[in-house]
Amino acid sequence: MLLTADAKTPEWKTQAAASQTPPATDNHQPWTMLSILRKARMKDKEMRVLMLGLDNAGKTTIVKSIMNEDVNSVSPTLGFIIKTIDYDGYKLNIWDVGGQKTLRTYWKNYFERTDTLIWVVDACDRNRMDDCQRELKGLLLEERLMGASLLVLSNKSDVNGSLNEDEVREELGLDDIKTHQWKIMACSAITGHNLQQGLRWVIQDAKDRLFLF
């Protein structure tokens, strides 16, 4: 499917795959080799984006909204979904992985060669902010995610009573993160608020880190 709009709207190409079986992982690679591989992919204008978060955070709805797909018919992701997006001249391979508690032990199977980690937060789910913070902190300790940038999307910000961006930032302890470049944005998967800005940050951040123009 190819969606083309005016000059101000990016050209989209979507390729989706779904599975309940986690892919096999490669062996650990030295940090220097990861840097070389990451820069080589960026020169080819290709990036691997891993989207994680607790169940019901709205990950799949965000991806559907970005792709201009129907956001009213979304079911829980039991395995993973891959979407390939051509955005601003870059090919973004977005891995949307299920966030149910029973699936989180499989997250590690998707870490390899990740350029950007998108962590989606349900800003209405005040009762699970501690769980959300704990899972995120664990991810940032993973060797295979070192060097990846972090974009936190505070979803459902359009819902009355949701935590605002500063509150989510404090709940997750983002200011204590020193190991990764990070950014937080309040967003709405339903209205599309800040989703395009999020993708632009992902690309610009990668350019800045790898000195690409």
Identify the bridge partners of residue 3 per DSSP, sorted by sequence position. 12
Identify the bridge partners of residue 85 per DSSP, sorted by sequence position. 92
**Residue 37 marked as a ligand binder:** no
**Residue 6 marked as a ligand binder:** no
Q: Does an H or E element contain 29, and which?
A: none
Closest listed residue to residue 196, CA positions, set 96, 67, 69: 67
**Residue 158 marked as a ligand binder:** yes
**Residue 55 marked as a ligand binder:** yes
**Residue 68 marked as a ligand binder:** no
Closest listed residue to residue 120, CA positions, set 101, 141, 138, 135: 135
**Residue 54 marked as a ligand binder:** yes
**Residue 127 marked as a ligand binder:** no
User: Tokens 């030295």 sit at which residue?
Assistant: 30
- DSSP notation for 122-156: ETT-GGGHHHHHHHHHHHHT-GGGTT-EEEEEEE-
Distance CA(198)–CA(149), nearest Å, equals 12
Helix axes 195-210, 59-66, angle to 10 degrees: 90
What is the 8-class DSSP label of residue 94? E
Strand, coil or helix: 64 = helix
Q: Is 15 a catalytic residue?
A: no
**Residue 65 marked as a ligand binder:** no
Distance CA(52)–CA(98), nearest Å, equals 7
Catalytically annotated residue among 20, 100, 197, 204:
100
**Residue 98 marked as a ligand binder:** no
Q: Which residues are annotated as a binding site for GTP?
A: 53-60, 99, 155-158
Active site residues: 100
| Residues in binding site | 53-60, 77, 99, 155-158
Binding-site positions for Mg(2+) read 60, 77
